[in-house]
Protein backbone atom coordinates (compact mmCIF):
# COMPACT_ATOMS: atom_id res chain seq x y z
CA UNK A 1 0.00 0.00 0.00
CA UNK A 2 2.97 2.30 0.43
CA UNK A 3 1.57 3.83 3.60
CA UNK A 4 1.87 2.62 7.15
CA UNK A 5 -1.16 0.60 8.29
CA UNK A 6 -1.62 -0.11 11.97
CA UNK A 7 -4.09 -2.35 13.71
CA UNK A 8 -5.73 -1.86 17.11
CA UNK A 9 -5.40 -4.31 18.75
CA UNK A 10 -2.17 -5.52 17.08
CA UNK A 11 -2.37 -8.17 14.33
CA UNK A 12 -1.13 -11.07 16.52
CA UNK A 13 -3.94 -10.43 19.02
CA UNK A 14 -6.55 -10.20 16.27
CA UNK A 15 -5.29 -13.46 14.77
CA UNK A 16 -5.39 -15.15 18.19
CA UNK A 17 -9.05 -14.21 18.68
CA UNK A 18 -10.03 -15.47 15.24
CA UNK A 19 -8.06 -18.68 15.70
CA UNK A 20 -9.84 -19.22 19.04
CA UNK A 21 -13.18 -18.46 17.31
CA UNK A 22 -13.87 -15.47 19.59
CA UNK A 23 -15.95 -12.48 18.55
CA UNK A 24 -13.90 -9.33 18.19
CA UNK A 25 -13.71 -5.81 16.89
CA UNK A 26 -10.64 -4.07 15.54
CA UNK A 27 -9.58 -0.93 13.72
CA UNK A 28 -7.31 -0.66 10.72
CA UNK A 29 -5.76 2.78 10.44
CA UNK A 30 -3.69 4.08 7.56
CA UNK A 31 -1.35 6.84 8.66
CA UNK A 32 -1.00 9.56 6.06
CA UNK A 33 1.38 12.50 6.09
CA UNK A 34 -0.55 15.32 4.49
CA UNK A 35 -4.15 14.16 4.69
CA UNK A 36 -6.43 12.88 7.41
CA UNK A 37 -5.76 9.29 8.51
CA UNK A 38 -8.09 6.67 7.11
CA UNK A 39 -9.76 4.20 9.46
CA UNK A 40 -12.02 1.21 9.02
CA UNK A 41 -13.71 -0.48 11.99
CA UNK A 42 -14.40 -4.22 11.74
CA UNK A 43 -16.65 -6.49 13.81
CA UNK A 44 -16.35 -10.26 13.42
CA UNK A 45 -18.72 -12.77 15.02
CA UNK A 46 -18.44 -16.54 14.55
CA UNK A 47 -21.93 -17.70 13.58
CA UNK A 48 -21.49 -20.92 15.55
CA UNK A 49 -21.82 -18.72 18.68
CA UNK A 50 -25.35 -17.74 17.78
CA UNK A 51 -28.34 -19.65 19.11
CA UNK A 52 -29.84 -22.04 16.54
CA UNK A 53 -27.03 -21.34 14.07
CA UNK A 54 -26.81 -24.94 12.90
CA UNK A 55 -30.58 -25.26 12.70
CA UNK A 56 -30.76 -22.41 10.19
CA UNK A 57 -27.87 -23.70 8.11
CA UNK A 58 -24.73 -22.01 9.44
CA UNK A 59 -21.71 -24.19 10.01
CA UNK A 60 -18.54 -23.91 12.04
CA UNK A 61 -16.07 -21.62 10.33
CA UNK A 62 -18.70 -19.21 9.05
CA UNK A 63 -18.43 -15.67 10.37
CA UNK A 64 -20.41 -12.48 10.09
CA UNK A 65 -18.05 -9.67 9.20
CA UNK A 66 -19.32 -6.08 9.42
CA UNK A 67 -17.23 -3.01 8.67
CA UNK A 68 -18.06 0.66 8.83
CA UNK A 69 -16.75 1.43 5.35
CA UNK A 70 -19.91 0.21 3.58
CA UNK A 71 -21.92 -0.25 6.79
CA UNK A 72 -22.83 -3.73 5.57
CA UNK A 73 -22.15 -7.21 6.82
CA UNK A 74 -21.16 -10.29 4.88
CA UNK A 75 -21.13 -13.95 5.86
CA UNK A 76 -18.12 -16.00 4.86
CA UNK A 77 -15.70 -18.67 5.94
CA UNK A 78 -12.76 -17.41 7.98
CA UNK A 79 -9.86 -17.67 7.38
CA UNK A 80 -10.36 -19.83 4.26
CA UNK A 81 -12.70 -17.40 2.52
CA UNK A 82 -10.93 -14.26 3.68
CA UNK A 83 -9.75 -13.33 0.20
CA UNK A 84 -13.29 -13.56 -1.17
CA UNK A 85 -14.63 -11.42 1.67
CA UNK A 86 -11.83 -8.86 1.16
CA UNK A 87 -12.70 -8.60 -2.54
CA UNK A 88 -16.40 -8.22 -1.69
CA UNK A 89 -15.84 -5.31 0.73
CA UNK A 90 -13.13 -3.50 -1.24
CA UNK A 91 -14.32 -0.55 -3.29
CA UNK A 92 -12.27 1.70 -5.60
CA UNK A 93 -12.00 4.53 -3.07
CA UNK A 94 -9.26 4.87 -0.44
CA UNK A 95 -11.28 3.44 2.47
CA UNK A 96 -12.40 0.53 0.31
CA UNK A 97 -8.83 -0.29 -0.61
CA UNK A 98 -7.84 -0.06 3.06
CA UNK A 99 -10.71 -2.38 4.06
CA UNK A 100 -9.68 -5.05 1.55
CA UNK A 101 -5.98 -4.71 2.33
CA UNK A 102 -6.54 -4.83 6.10
CA UNK A 103 -8.70 -7.94 5.93
CA UNK A 104 -6.11 -9.70 3.77
CA UNK A 105 -3.41 -8.79 6.31
CA UNK A 106 -5.56 -10.17 9.15
CA UNK A 107 -6.20 -13.44 7.29
CA UNK A 108 -2.48 -13.79 6.54
CA UNK A 109 -1.78 -13.35 10.27
CA UNK A 110 -4.33 -16.06 11.10
CA UNK A 111 -2.72 -18.47 8.62
CA UNK A 112 0.73 -17.73 10.11
CA UNK A 113 -0.66 -18.51 13.57
CA UNK A 114 -2.20 -21.78 12.33
CA UNK A 115 1.08 -22.76 10.68
CA UNK A 116 2.70 -22.13 14.05
Boundaries of domain holding 43: 4-115
- Res 56: pLDDT: 87
Q: What pLDDT, on the 0 to 100 scale, is given for residue 60?
A: 84
What total of structural domains would you count in the chain?
Answer: 1
Interacting residues of 116 by C-beta distance below 8 A, sequence separation 6+: none
Residue 66 DSSP one-character state: E
Low-confidence ranges of the chain (pLDDT < 50): 1
- Per-residue pLDDT tens digits for 72-98: 999 999 998 888 998 998 889 999 999
Q: What confidence score (pLDDT) does residue 1 get?
A: 43
- Contacting residues for 10 by C-beta, under 8 A, at least 6 apart: none
Q: Please, are residues 68 and 40 in contact by the beta-carbon 8 Å criterion?
A: yes
Backbone phi, psi, residue 88, to 5°: -70, -35
In this predicted structure, what is the pLDDT of residue 11? 97
Amino acid sequence: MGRRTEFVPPLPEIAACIHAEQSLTFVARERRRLRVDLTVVFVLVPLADLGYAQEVGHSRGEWLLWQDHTKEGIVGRVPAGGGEIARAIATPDDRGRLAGYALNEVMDAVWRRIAG
